[in-house]
Structure formats: C-alpha cells, structure tokens
Structure 1
Amino acid sequence: MLTLPDDLRGAFKDPMGPVYTDTERLLADAGDPIVAVGDVVTYHLRVAGRDPDVAVIDGKTEREAVGDEIAAVLDGENRRIEVENDPATLSRAMLEALAEAIADPDPVVIHVTGEEDLATVPALLVAPEGASVVYGQPGAGMVLVDVTSESKSRARELLGELDGDTAAALSALGVE
C-alpha cells in the first residue's frame, strides 16, 4: 500500500522523541496505552512488568533473529494477529491490524512476516492522545513518543511522504 522511497530513508533515522536506556524511567514517563514496535522493546517492557497494550514484532532485531531468551519472553498468551509486511513498506494488513489492536481492550501482539520498522508512523495515527509509542533506536536505546496532536501531525506528514495511496492508508487505519 505504501513504500518508503530511498531518498526519504534519512527522515526515519532520527528519533521522534527522547531515547531511553532505562526501562523503568521510560515507563515512569510513558502514557497509556503503550504501543511497542520491535521485539527488543517489547522484551524490555515485559521484563519490567509492563505488557504493551499493542506489540508489533517480527522475530528479528537489526535484521537478525532474536535470541532464545528474547523469543521466550515474546511467546506470550496474548491474542495474535498475523500480517505480512515487506521491508520498507506498510501493507493494508499491517494498517488494519494496528487499528484493530488499538481498539481491543486486551493486549494484542501483531506478528509480522517481513518487517515491522515503519509501523511507528501509523501507530501514532491510530493511538489515542495520551498514549505512548515506543520503538527501538539501533545502537542507542528505546524511543518514547507521546501521542499528541503534534506527534499525530508529524506522523501524518511522514505517511504522506511515502509512495502510494495515502488516502487509502488513512482509510485502512480508520483515520480521517
């Protein structure tokens, strides 16, 4: 549905919020609900005793399979939605799964075959204001993005810069 053009890759490398290495401090600053994008982020939140309301995982970290310890923590009993999402893309299935997972009052894991890296942007659009989206910043830590009108506006701008049908993507998210 949407694809990241090569010339825009740099725009997605800068953290969208403060970077944390201490999970407890991140949780003290986080809103509710929490959307976690990434296996290692989800692992750290669960080990700290906070199951994300929505976790988007793909079984990999920096394009390598996660270790057994992380995989064991990720293999929970939460409802799972299986989606396919190619690298550097946002599929309709991914967008619809994010909207469905946010609406569910119980924790949901979106398990991605492919790559989940771009899910942060639509997660900001579907999460309610006051929520937090947490994602991994390779080599640095965990990025905490508070869902505000400003972060939603930035996410909408970024989504609009992707190649593809932005209006259809917003529709799949249930966002106007």
Structure 2
Amino acid sequence: MPGDDVVLELPAALRSELKEPLGPIYTDTEALLAAATRPIVAVGDIVTYHLLAAGHTPAVALVDERTKRTDVEDDVREAVVDESPFEQTVAVENPPGTLTDALLTALQSALGREPAATTLIVVEGEEDLAALPAVLAVVEGASVVYGQPDEGMVLVTADEAARERVRSLIERMDGSHRPVLDALEG
C-alpha cells in the first residue's frame, strides 16, 4: 500500500458501490440544514462552502481544495480555507482512494474534543472517503454531509442502518479494518 500511514485502501471492485448515496440528496442547503441533526460533519470543499454560505459552520469539515479532480474556485478556497471561520485547523496527508491513520486520528480528535471546537481538516491528497469513518465516529443521530458530483449534497444520519452499511464497506476495503472499526466505534 502507498505510504506507511495508509490504514485502508479502496479496492477497484468497491468503487461502483460507493457511487450509491448513503442518504437523501439535497440541492437546497436550507432544506438540508432543516433536516440535519447537529453536530454536522461536512466532507468536501463545495459542501462546506454551501453550509458556510448558509450561515452554518459544521462541527468538523474535511476539505482538499479540489472538486471533481480540479482545484476549487478562488472564492470557495477563500471562504473555506483562507478566511476560515473554524476555531482550529489541522493538516493531514491522505492519498487518493485511502484512509490514513493521520486522517482518522484528526477526525476522532476533532469529534472528541471537549469543549467542542469547530475544526477544519485540510487534506493533502483526497478527502473523498472520509464520510465513511465520519458516519461511525459521530454521536448517534448526528449528520454527515458529503457531495454527490453533479447531483447535490448527501445527508447521512448516523443511525444503525447507515452505520451497518458503512461497516460493510469498510470491512471490504484492503487493509486492517478491525482496528479502524474498533477505534471509531469505541
């Protein structure tokens, strides 16, 4: 696997299954916020940008300054990263198609911090798979929001059904899934 830090890697056979959204898709940010339960974890620059533009700073946001494999527009980067409203910012490395120990640790730390501080996790590489561990790491009933390219924002409520689907996906990834599941669900 690339890098010593990689814990899980997405096999090619699982890519098509990940295209199926884990929850309902919203194109209206206000409607999504009305349906979401706090705390909210946002995965992706555009999703985070829309939540911030609607006046809501997520508890945790994971961004990589890219969307659909290209750099985000300057106004998105400025609003999310350069002029970040988050109380703290953490940088981690996470190669495409993987979940690294650094990303998982930063996510757990941000969600477990007392008192809670809004956290922006800036990923060097790719944050796309971070929605999976986020669904397991947030408190029961919290929301994870991620982008569905060219469709909208997916709202996942961290309930038992969503967590079971995510567990199944993680268990089929290449690498040491049991320590990841134990740590995130512990």
Conservation of the 8 A alpha-carbon contact between 2:57 and 2:85: no
User: Structure 1: how far apart are the matches of 2:19 and 2:85?
Assistant: 32
Aligned partner of 1:26 in structure 2 is 32
User: Structure 2: how far apart are the matches of 1:167 and 1:143?
Assistant: 26
User: Structure 1: how far apart are the matches of 2:147 and 2:18?
Assistant: 12
Q: Does 1:143 align with 2:141?
A: no
Specify which of 114, 118, 132 is matched with residue 107 of structure 1: 118
Conservation of the 8 A alpha-carbon contact between 1:92 and 1:172: no
Report the CA distance between 1:171 and its aligned residue: 4.3
Q: Does 1:54 align with 2:65?
A: no
Identity of aligned residues (%): 49
Aligned partner of 2:100 in structure 1 is 91
Report the CA distance between 1:168 and its aligned residue: 2.4
Gapped regions of structure 1 (runs ≥ 5): none
Report the CA distance between 1:156 and its aligned residue: 1.0
Conservation of the 8 A alpha-carbon contact between 1:39 and 1:56: yes
Report the CA distance between 1:63 and its aligned residue: 1.0
Conservation of the 8 A alpha-carbon contact between 1:2 and 1:162: yes
Aligned residues: 175
User: Structure 2: how far apart are the matches of 1:27 and 1:16?
Assistant: 17
User: Structure 2: how far apart are the matches of 1:81 and 1:161?
Assistant: 29
Aligned partner of 1:3 in structure 2 is 9
Aligned partner of 2:174 in structure 1 is 163
Report the CA distance between 1:77 and its aligned residue: 4.3
Runs of 4+ in 1 over 6 A off after TM superposition: none
Q: Does 1:125 align with 2:125?
A: no
User: Structure 2: how far apart are the matches of 1:42 and 1:141?
Assistant: 12
The RMSD of aligned alpha carbons is 1.0
Which amino acid is 1:148 matched to?
A: D
Conservation of the 8 A alpha-carbon contact between 1:96 and 1:172: no
Which amino acid is 1:13 matched to?
A: K
Gapped regions of structure 2 (runs ≥ 5): 1-6
User: Structure 1: how far apart are the matches of 2:169 and 2:111?
Assistant: 20
**Of 62-71 and 163-172, the range deviating more from structure 2:** 163-172
Which amino acid is 1:44 matched to?
A: H
Report the CA distance between 1:81 and its aligned residue: 1.2
